[in-house]
Amino acid sequence: MKNLLIRRLLLVIPILFGVSVLSFLLLHLIPGDPARIIAGIGAAPEDVEVIRKEFNLDAPLYVQYISFITGLFNGNLKSINTQDAVIKEIIPRFVNTFQLSLFSIFVSSIIGITFGIIAAVKRNTWIDNLVMGFSLFGISMPIFWLGILLMLVFSLYLNILPPGGKGGFQHIILPGITLGVASAAIVARMTRASMLQVLNQDYIRTALSTGLPKGKVIVKYALKNALIPVVTVVGLQFGYMLGGAVLTESVFGWPGLGRLIVDSIFNRDYPVVQAGILLIAVVFVLVNLGVDLLYAVLDPRIRRR
């Protein structure tokens, strides 16, 4: 287990390097003069030159890369818009996104896995059809529509939850459920499929033949096996959520990373965009690492080597 962890961590290093190079190169891969791109169309030539100097755009690429990375950490890399250190802009937004994602993935796993198990155990009955119907609904429903619907019901009519913004725990519930339900639908389908396969395995028949109650066999002996592929899906979903859920954030005015990046793209605030993309990539890599480790926790055959 320890070996596996070390090997995985070592593998992460080159990936992170590659990702950081790519996000740095972003600006240079756009056709045209980077200084002009940052300054914007129709900027005066003097302004362009100021920017060229400020961003050190005449230096060799590797020097620029190093100053991009160091600037990120020591605060020299500044947002063009606010002149604040990029890192100071991004981290609080990321924390917000992280809270929302954590809540959503929790909602999604609980609902998705529970429904998936029920559908599998009751396969081909009306219960299964109902659960899977809901799941299809959840997948095909536009997320902003669900968001607005929830907002109408719980904020406008019932007036029990705030319609948006960021504050106490009650603020996270509606956006969290909105984001979680869509992903729960996917998790439920995966759990059902995986559970159906596991329920046909010989070891389930063995467990039943020893006289253990069916409920226990399902929740313990079948589920742990069935969760192995589900963990991948949940991990991917979590990764996407951490990348910022622009639609949900917009509907509920949630100050998350997704909106920051979109706003920065519109404002041509390239340092923020670059840093944001780098952060998302890093988080995605780390989530995947977590998934791999969770795999090993669930499946001793992976732990072996």
**Could you list the residues that contact another protein (CB under 8 A)?**
201-203, 205-214, 216, 220-221, 224-225, 298-301, 304
- Residue 2 CB, nearest approach to another protein (Å): 18
Q: Of the two residues 11 and 212, which places its CB atom closer to another protein in the complex?
A: 212
From the CB of 222, what's the least distance to another protein, in Å?
9
152 vs 212, beta carbon nearer another protein? 212
For the CB of residue 248, give the shortest distance to another protein in the complex, in Å.
35
Nearer to another protein, 47 or 299 (CB): 299
Q: Smaller CB distance to another protein: residue 31 or 300?
A: 300
Q: Which residues contact 159 (CB under 8 A, 6 or more apart)?
A: none
**Helix/strand/coil (H/E/C) assignment for every residue in the chain:** CHHHHHHHHHHHHHHHHHHHHHHHHHHHHCCCCHHHHHHCCCCCHHHHHHHHHHCCCCCCHHHHHHHHHHHHHHCCCECCCCCCEHHHHHHHHHHHHHHHHHHHHHHHHHHHHHHHHHHHHCCCCHHHHHHHHHHHHHHHCCHHHHHHHHHHHHHHHCCCCCCCCCCCCHHHHHHHHHHHHHHHHHHHHHHHHHHHHHHCCHHHHHHHHCCCCHHHHHHHHHHHHHHHHHHHHHHHHHHHHHCCCHHHHHHHCCCCHHHHHHHHHHCCCHHHHHHHHHHHHHHHHHHHHHHHHHHHHHCHHHHCC
Q: How far is the CB of 203 from another protein (least distance, A)?
A: 4
Tell me whether residue 42 or residue 300 sits nearer to another protein (CB atom). Answer: 300
Question: Which CB atom, from 94 or from 221, has the smaller least distance to another protein?
Answer: 221
Least distance CB 1 / another protein (angstroms): 13
Closest approach, Cβ 86 to another protein, in A, equals 45
